[in-house]
Structure 1
Amino acid sequence: MDFIHDRSSNILFSLHDSRVKKIKYHNKTLTLKVHKIFQFVDGEEKAYPGEVFFKDCDLDMCDVLIFNKTLGEGRFYGKAIELQQFMDEYAGSEFEIIKEGYFGNTTTYTGWLWEDGKQPVSAIMYIWNRGDMVYRVEK
């Protein structure tokens, strides 16, 4: 079932603690395949597998910041790469969303990047799109 995110209203679903398993881009639509989409209904949290679509997405305006460790204390360093490069170089990794932010045409996800055999590191994903953001929930 598809739900369109209303950018001027309350958020229907949460991606906090969701793990992005796969990212793909086709026909100006960015798709994030997540293991869970959370919804709070009648005082109860429910979780569903699903996908999030960003219609009319401009990949040239999307970036990922990847740090050398999980942030919290002390010095850190990192790198900024375009989302396409991230999709190419980190295809086998998972991005765990810890914080999500929505403002205008920009979506920001802050979380941890998990790679096999390595400790997680902090990462921030910036997505820009002018079309709808759609949650496809598998109920």
Structure 2
Amino acid sequence: MKLIKKTISNIPFDLHDSRIVKMKVNDDNLTLHLDQVYEYHKDSEKFYPANLTFTDIDLEECHALVFDKGMGNGAFSGVRYNLQEYLEKYPDAEFEIITDTYNMTTTVMEGYIYRDGQEAVAGIISLWTLGEVIAEF
């Protein structure tokens, strides 16, 4: 048997440089409110505010890593929070997405966490879902 992974997506949107300005849990759904997502079509770039809803999430398997500084080489330290703890500790933080990856059940976003009056720090948010990812523009 031979399987070939295709890297071509039928989705013309990218989350790079998007900021999660609010995260809301409702039952088994998580909605990320984004300041903008980017649409690439031929030679044009457009951007829109958007919401991403992850359905059927397992909150016990979702977590956030918050580091003590920005992304760079060398030693670092940080704290791992379950998602509910992160939402309680960082209710007004914005998360700038630098990279996002998706597989069968997990979405991982790496980026920067911004809080008023504080220097941005690196962070990783990992979400586990058996459901769908629904984008609304």
Shared fold per TM-score greater than 0.5: yes
Q: Letter of the aligned partner of 1:58 in structure 2?
A: D
TM-score normalised over the length of structure 1: 0.89
Runs of 4+ with deviation above 6 angstroms: none
Classify 1:83/1:11 alpha carbon distance in 2 versus 1 (closer, same or farther; 3 Å): farther
Distance 2:10 2:122 in 1: 24
Distance 2:122 2:68 in 1: 7
- Written as runs of structure 1 = structure 2, the 5 A alignment for 1:12-31 is 12=11, 13-31=13-31
- CA RMSD in angstroms comes to 1.3
Partner of 2:63: 63
**Do residues 85 (structure 1) and 113 (structure 2) align?**
no
Larger Rg, first or second structure (1 or 2)? 2
TM-score normalised over the length of structure 2: 0.91
Partner of 1:5: none
Distance 1:125 1:59 in 2: 12
Deviations 1:80-131 (A, max 9, x none): 0001111111011100000000111100000000011111000000001111
Number of matched pairs = 130
Q: Which has the higher contact order (CA 8 A, sep 6+)?
A: 1
Structure 1: runs of 5+ lacking an equivalent: 1-7
Structure 2: runs of 5+ lacking an equivalent: 1-6
Partner of 2:132: 132
Distance 1:117 1:105 in 2: 35
Deviations 1:14-33 (A, max 9, x none): 11000100000112110000
